[in-house]
Structure 1
């Protein structure tokens, strides 16, 4: 392969980090996964450390050392302010591995993953959540994604927080009985309610709380009524994000693509079915895409687009098949 015709794509999130190296023909050559690298979740120092480690592993897997890529795309979670962009730009610059870096929010790479750049809407639901869309003339809109204190409805964090509230209220006799409290106590190895509360507050960081969403999903599929309600509400909230974006762009009655990306959709059909039901009522002409768990494909598409390579259906399909074989 000629120098300058290899590309690097990176997805940085609050749960995990992915790096891929691929050719101008869409051949996936290297693929590495690591832990969280969102600077809002793990801090700037650890974010940089994780990004460098995952990229280094990916490069080593294809025998690249001291290589400088012509183009690399970084899809970053929580890239919301000029300060965020400054932090990430400095981080990428310090790596000295990319001539022309593309740095965008992960909502942009998620959008390209779902639509390939065509008009449409994507909803991202991982540790946090957000809706984003774009139309033909390049006009864009977003909803949500304003972090856990005031936003992130339908996200893993939101699901876990709601479940914790229900579990505690159930213990106090304020809500119906649920298996959630027993499951949380087992997870924390707590022998009493008081010990559970103590251990919960020992580390209330966002990604730790968000990780508890898998417990909620387990309870839901075991038949717990409260857990099922929480997942259904999450699906509706994610549908609301898509509908809000559609109204802002005035495309709620248009035949557009609506897709969803992120680990929350790994939890099974309850959330996605609730999401679909809401979209079908509010946006009857929309085509609802099956969930995708990673936005790395969109980062790859953006690299190729920046390099002047046409994003044909065959090329995008080739990339999608390779990535989804690894990320399922």
Structure 2
């Protein structure tokens, strides 16, 4: 009996790592989620340990006789060529004989959102970054320099500014805002000054700071001027990432696909329209309806030089 070919797409970030395994016939073999694998956040040893456990789960999920033909990894934190080479060589040791591709996590987001490998992807989550690739395969990134020196317009920055707005209002340096009641109620606090020991405590993460953006969206829908200002400022920064990309890169297409992905661009997010309004007529802005892991598994198939079968579209459309 001939072994069935299988294709793996992996999307690895700071919060979670997700792998999808699809058979050559289009059958979904596995959809696995585990811990984050961002090398910059956790270091190589931790990231490889997470991926090693993921590989064990993939092998356990694959039916007897399945052969891993191709794997594509979109991993946050492997931005430089030497980092991608190091990761790829290690993965090849785990999967000898397979095609292996490694890029940062932006390329799968572009492919998953637009179905194309030419365009721009704007990621707005805990962090922020824009990534572009043109028809000649030239690549460019703008932003994504981390929460201490970059990530403008990100969930972390919005969350940090939300805390600041509450404390400025408490001081009398800023206007009253609905964020005060919402954030204090969320943490079960009576006084804004109690935020200080909370946010400066050991173990208080960037993701926890970014989590309060939900209240900024909520208060903005209720007409809170402070929250509307925070979102407008974020839209300015996010739009600037894309405008800079359009200036720096040469695209053949008159209208360049710009895929919005990440938690800030959830369904119904006002940031979608706000960012779109800040971009030129060259930008064809779409919100990604599929997760980046779908783009990763499509890239896994593409790097073998073959096209997916007719049943793949139905399978991938069901992955959310």
Q: TM-score, normalised by structure 2?
A: 0.86
Q: Give the Cα separation in 1 of the matches to 2:129 and 2:299.
A: 20
The corresponding residue for 1:47 is 47
Larger mean CA deviation between 70-79 and 286-295 belongs to 286-295
Deviation, structure 1 residue 44? 4.1
1:114-133 equivalences in 2 (<5 Å): 114-133=113-132
SS of the residue corresponding to residue 151 of structure 1 reads: coil
Does 2:29 align with 1:11?
A: no
The corresponding residue for 1:268 is 268
The corresponding residue for 2:232 is 232
Number of matched pairs: 319
Deviation, structure 1 residue 300? 0.8
Deviation, structure 1 residue 59? 4.6
Deviation, structure 1 residue 179? 2.1
Q: Give the Cα separation in 2 of the matches to 1:79 and 1:64.
A: 33
SS of the residue corresponding to residue 29 of structure 2 reads: strand
Larger mean CA deviation between 244-253 and 130-139 belongs to 244-253
> CA, structure 1 residues 270+47, in 2 after alignment: closer, same or farther (shift >3 Å)?
same
Larger mean CA deviation between 99-108 and 89-98 belongs to 89-98
Deviation, structure 1 residue 319? 5.0
> CA, structure 1 residues 319+149, in 2 after alignment: closer, same or farther (shift >3 Å)?
farther
Q: 1:300 aligns with which of 294, 297, 300?
A: 297
Q: TM-score, normalised by structure 1?
A: 0.84
The corresponding residue for 2:110 is 111
SS of the residue corresponding to residue 187 of structure 1 reads: helix
> CA, structure 1 residues 94+194, in 2 after alignment: closer, same or farther (shift >3 Å)?
farther
SS of the residue corresponding to residue 123 of structure 2 reads: strand
Q: Deviations over 1:117-146 (max 9, x none)?
A: 443111112221111112212222221111
1:59-70 equivalences in 2 (<5 Å): 59-63=59-63, 69-70=68-69
The corresponding residue for 2:314 is 318
1:161-180 equivalences in 2 (<5 Å): 161-180=160-179
Does 2:205 align with 1:205?
A: yes
> CA, structure 1 residues 126+64, in 2 after alignment: closer, same or farther (shift >3 Å)?
farther
Q: Deviations over 1:219-250 (max 9, x none)?
A: 33343222222223323322221111111114
Contact kept? 1:116, 1:316, Cα under 8 Å:
no
Q: Deviations over 1:134-174 (max 9, x none)?
A: 22122222211111112112222122122122222122111
Q: Give the Cα separation in 2 of the matches to 1:319 and 1:103.
A: 23
> CA, structure 1 residues 175+95, in 2 after alignment: closer, same or farther (shift >3 Å)?
farther
Does 2:187 align with 1:188?
A: yes
| Structure 2 unaligned regions, length at least 5 | none
Larger mean CA deviation between 21-30 and 135-144 belongs to 21-30
Contact kept? 2:112, 2:288, Cα under 8 Å:
no
Contact kept? 1:15, 1:126, Cα under 8 Å:
no
The corresponding residue for 1:142 is 141
Q: Give the Cα separation in 1 of the matches to 2:314 and 2:117.
A: 18
Contact kept? 1:14, 1:127, Cα under 8 Å:
no
Q: Give the Cα separation in 2 of the matches to 1:232 and 1:26.
A: 43
> CA, structure 1 residues 309+98, in 2 after alignment: closer, same or farther (shift >3 Å)?
same
Q: Give the Cα separation in 1 of the matches to 2:276 and 2:261.
A: 14
| Structure 1 unaligned regions, length at least 5 | none
Contact kept? 1:11, 1:74, Cα under 8 Å:
yes
Q: Name the Cα RMSD after superposition.
A: 2.9
> CA, structure 1 residues 226+305, in 2 after alignment: closer, same or farther (shift >3 Å)?
same
Deviation, structure 1 residue 265? 1.0
